Amino acid sequence: MNNTKKITILAIESSCDDTAASVIVNGNILANVVASQDIHKKYGGVVPELASRSHQENIVPVVERALKEAGVLQDQLDAIAVTQGPGLLGSLLVGVSFAKSMAFSLDIPLIGVNHLNAHIAAHYIEEPKPTFPYLCLLVSGGHTRIIKVNSTVNLEVLGETLDDAAGEAFDKAAKMLGLEYPGGPLIQKYAENGDPLNYTFSTGKVDGFNYSFSGMKTGVLNFLRKGMQKDPDFIKNNMEDLCASVQYTIVEYLLSKCVAAAKEFGLSQLSIAGGVSANSYLRERIKEESEKRNWEVFIPKFEYCTDNAGMIAMEGYNHYLAGNFSSLEMKPYSREVNQ
């Protein structure tokens, strides 16, 4: 008879505009449910009030679906993991309050999880997994960081953006081009048939492994304004080349610093995490660079790249094993410094 206790955790993610729930049993994800909010599309960005209202509507059905898909009953749960921050406070509050009440009523531990570390934990969901230390480029809508991952709990930030995040750069450029939010996937789509070298945009010259995207944003805006003055259909007629050039600029900039960091720290395992790691050009280019240099590349499956609760579940499971629990008084935080 096998007496090994199964560790079953329900994880909840509500930091931005996706309501998500996942169930993990002994480190294996059994369900990964996401309800995305289309309502923000027409506003060109996430509207915080609308996001938290949608989380309130979605959270019960999403959690119920995750438990059902996993074939797990509430009283079989050993802990509830939830995104504590960073993110939109009103959105985080919905997930955190729900998780607290569930943990309280089931009398099981609560585990507050850092959303950014969870994006990195997405690498431990499926094989092949990187071994420590490895380099991770974390690129999402709110953050851009190069991290030396020494262990699941020892994350050394080597550099980060000084202003906009890479995902934000995609989204803002897309908005200028008249595309809906989130702009990253649409820029990728139009870029497929465009010439990436047709237009040149400059990127921020900042020290070390840091990034700056605000200069590029202004550059794109001024360039589009000039183009539209000459030809009111400039954007429409050149959408594919414009998207390809924007994507090329962002991706090559991201990559150049990653390559430099890998060299400086003598790391030969490279990984990408966060929503922008869904970008096919970034995936292709990082693989190309790695083949050239004999590096190993790790990219989580698409569904674990953009916001999801599977990554929260994996990070929560690691906390559970380390005995890292949160009190029921735990509060969400919008920025890391407020922790």
Q: Is 307 in the site for Zn ion (CB under 5 A)?
A: yes
Q: Closest CB to ligand KG4 among 9 and 272?
A: 272
Rank residues 140 and 203 by Cβ distance to Zn ion and give the closer one: 140
Query: What does 44 interact with, of ligand KG4, Zn ion, none (CB < 5 to 8 A by kind)?
Result: none
CB of 33 to ligand KG4, least distance (A): 15
Q: Could you tell me the smallest distance in angstroms from the CB atom of residue 294 to Zn ion? A: 30
Residue 95 site contact among ligand KG4, Zn ion, none (CB < 5 to 8 Å, cut-off depends on kind): none
Nearer to ligand KG4, 77 or 251 (CB): 251
182 binds, among Zn ion, ligand KG4, none (CB under 5 to 8 A by kind): ligand KG4
Would strands 110-114 and 269-273 be described as parallel, antiparallel, or unpaired? unpaired
Q: Which is nearer to ligand KG4, 271 or 279 (CB)?
A: 279
Minimum CB separation from Zn ion for residue 292, in Å? Answer: 29
Please report, as residue ranges, which positions from 320 to 339 form the binding site for Zn ion (by CB under 5 A). none
Least separation in angstroms between residue 306's CB and ligand KG4 is 4
Q: Which parts of this chain interact with ligand KG4 (CB under 6 A)?
A: 16, 140-142, 167, 170-171, 182-185, 188, 274-276, 278-279, 306-307
Only segment of 104-112, 129-137, 230-238, 301-309 that touches Zn ion (CB under 5 A): 301-309
- In contact, 260 and 209? CB cutoff 8 Å: yes
CB of 19 to ligand KG4, least distance (A): 13
Check residue 140 for interaction with Zn ion (CB under 5 A): yes
Point out which residues bind Zn ion (CB under 5 A). Answer: 140, 307
